[in-house]
Amino acid sequence: MILAGCGAVVVNQSTGGAVTFPGICVVWGLVVMVMVYSVGHVSGAHFNPAVTIAFATCRRFPWKQVPSYVLAQVLGSTLASLTLRLTFGGAHGHSFGTMPSGSSTQAVALEFIISFYLMFVVSGVGTDDRAVGELAGLAVGATVVLNVLFAGYKPI
């Protein structure tokens, strides 16, 4: 996920904006959707520590496995970031993510809201037997697109 999502940001920066902000949003949503459909049956689609914690909180995942999953998620994202840095030659201190455009309090509040929204959708489609499981990847991917559209834009 980090390789594709942050990779879209890198390509956008290195091409003078060819990918565009909406394009970056779509990449993030598509990579989540593809990952849910391709390996969700193996890992339960735990690509983010918030998902793992949400499932444990809903008693759909054992708490004793949470630390190992979170460690694997952090290690995977770190390796993806290092791969991007090596591939595209990023310098120390160069970020391919987003920076808060407001105060730290605003950034934390916004992150809480979009994380809650994502976990609400993930928990709804992933833990309720009445949900259409075949559409889970689409619902979660679309939520990621909306979250990035809503919270990811930083005016220059």
pLDDT in tens, 62-108: 999 999 999 999 999 999 989 988 888 865 555 666 677 788 898 89
Q: What is the pLDDT of residue 91?
A: 59
Q: What pLDDT, on the 0 to 100 scale, is given for residue 44?
A: 82
**What pLDDT score does 52 carry?**
92
Predicted local confidence at residue 89, as pLDDT: 80
Q: Which of 11-15, 109-113, 126-130 ranks highest by mean pLDDT?
A: 109-113
Counted domains in the chain = 1
Q: Is residue 129 assigned to a domain?
A: yes
Output the 3-class SS for 80-100: HHHHHHHHHCCCCCCCCCCCC
Is 63 within a domain? yes
Residue percentage of the chain with pLDDT more than 70: 91
| 94 within a domain of the structure (yes/no) | no
**What pLDDT score was predicted for residue 155?**
54
**pTM given for the model:** 0.86
- The pLDDT value given to residue 28: 95
Instruction: List C-alpha distances in Å: 19 to 9, 30, 115, 130.
Output: 8, 14, 25, 38
Domain that holds residue 126: 2-88+99-151
Does residue 156 register a pLDDT over 50? no
CATH number at residue 105: 1.20.1080.10
